[in-house]
Amino acid sequence: MTVILRSLETAVPPTILIQEQARDVFAAQPGLTRLGQRLVRTCFDAAAIDSRHTAVRELSTAFRGDDPMFYDGVSGLLLNPTTQERNDLFAAEAVPLFIEAASKAVAAADGLTAADITHVVTVSCTGFFNPGPDYKVVRALGLHPSVQRYHLGFMGCYAAFPALRAAKAFCEADPDAVVLVVSVELCSLHVRTSNDPDTIMGSSLFADGGAAAVITARELPLSAPAINLDHFETVLTPVGEDSMAWNIGDHGFEMVLDSYVPKIIDEHIVGALEPLLAKSPELAALPYGNIRHWAIHPGGRSILDKVQAKLELSDEQLIPARETLRRYGNMSSATVMFVLKHILEQPATEPGESICAMAFGPGLTVETGLFTKLSPAVSLPHVAVLAAHA
């Protein structure tokens, strides 16, 4: 059965953080040691990020308002709201992004309408509320009240792939199913000033954004590039459980992102790929560089550097991941969807181009999948099932 991602759309908050300006704000905070100041400048400058989007409008250097909660633009001080205050803002600001991304994805899915949606899967690890985003999407888009709803919460940066895998399973169980997957993360709600290296690293990387996709096995003509969801795999590395984590503190969620993570990925990425590529003997016999597209979650520049070096990929193959990082930062689970969209928008050079995509998260968990980029000029029965990594 062919299960196809027929549309993929993104959404970001309007407030933009310029990396150099954000660096200077964080480096100027009272309480930083000299080492902390050096770490701030080093992490921000080495992140390979030009700009990020945030749902916290106060973080704009041009914002001025009474009773600031996150950042006082007059004094230049970063404030320290409670977890409840941060989560309240998540509930207020995440909903519009969920709805925007979902609406755009449904509108872009030719041959389908909101009335066709049978399942909604939402994803987020940066806040909680109930009735949750799955409910809000159903109500806002006017979906049928019997639509099946699922929410994947607090899984971290790899969570888009379990959501896509679930969508594929729903479609295989019911060939008439149409699944709407929506991921929204507001990571910037949880940044804070600190001398802790993990906290500084998170502040230099994390950002806000959302993405949505419509997936179905229905036989419909292709009017735009799409993605065939071929295979998925999950691998837990034998080490790294304490090197990447996401904890809840009194003043926000606390990211643990150890500098050892790139080394773990370097040592175990080949082993993590083996069970996935075994499902495609044609690809397993080729050098990694022969797989046309790579949709790698840009958890940070050093992670991308390690993956590129270990798998001997070209600079061109890393463009979608590096450009996403440069323009948007690390938006946790939504980020790899931005990378896939970048690949979809590239002109096709041949029918059935292979995609290899992957994402990393707490555990250390490596999610992978084999996909095929479909061209609307090629009829589905003649498209070779190639490969992808998610």
Domain boundaries in the chain?
226-374
Q: Please confirm, yes or no, whether 157 is among the known catalytic residues.
A: yes
Q: Please tell me the distance from the alpha carbon of residue 332 to that of residue 207, in angstroms, as a whole number.
A: 8
Please enumerate, as own/partner, the contacts of 19-25 that have beta carbons within 8 Å and a separation of 24 or more: 19/44, 19/47, 19/49, 19/50, 19/51, 19/52, 19/204, 20/44, 21/61, 22/52, 22/59, 22/203, 23/204, 25/61, 25/71, 25/76, 25/78
**Helix H or strand E segment including 56:** none
Q: What pLDDT is stored for residue 302 in this prediction?
A: 94
Q: What pLDDT is stored for residue 377 in this prediction?
A: 67
Cβ atoms of 192 and 27 closer than 8 Å: no
Catalytic pick from 43, 125, 157, 171?
Answer: 157
- Helical H segments across 211-300, by residue range: 261-277, 281-284
Q: What is the pLDDT tens value at each position of the chain, 390 positions in all?
A: 899 999 999 999 999 999 999 999 999 999 999 999 999 999 999 999 999 999 999 998 777 778 899 999 889 999 999 999 999 999 999 999 999 999 999 999 999 999 999 999 999 999 999 999 999 999 999 999 999 999 999 999 999 999 999 999 999 999 999 999 999 999 999 999 999 998 999 999 999 999 999 999 999 999 999 999 999 999 999 998 888 888 999 999 988 777 778 899 999 999 999 999 999 988 888 899 999 999 999 999 999 999 999 999 999 999 999 999 999 999 999 999 999 999 999 998 888 999 999 999 998 999 999 999 998 865 444 333 333 333
Q: What pLDDT is stored for residue 350 in this prediction?
A: 86
130: Cβ–Cβ under 8 A, 6 or more apart, which residues? none
Cβ atoms of 285 and 365 closer than 8 Å: no
Q: What pLDDT is stored for residue 160 in this prediction?
A: 98
Cβ atoms of 343 and 355 closer than 8 Å: yes
CATH topology of domain 226-374: Peroxisomal Thiolase; Chain A, domain 1 (3.40.47)
Helices first, then strands: H and E counts in the chain: 11, 15
Is the four-CA dihedral 5, 265, 298, 349 of positive or negative sign? Answer: negative
Cβ atoms of 68 and 79 closer than 8 Å: yes
> Which residues sit opposite 119 in a β-bridge?
148, 179
Q: What pLDDT is stored for residue 286 in this prediction?
A: 86
Cβ atoms of 183 and 334 closer than 8 Å: yes
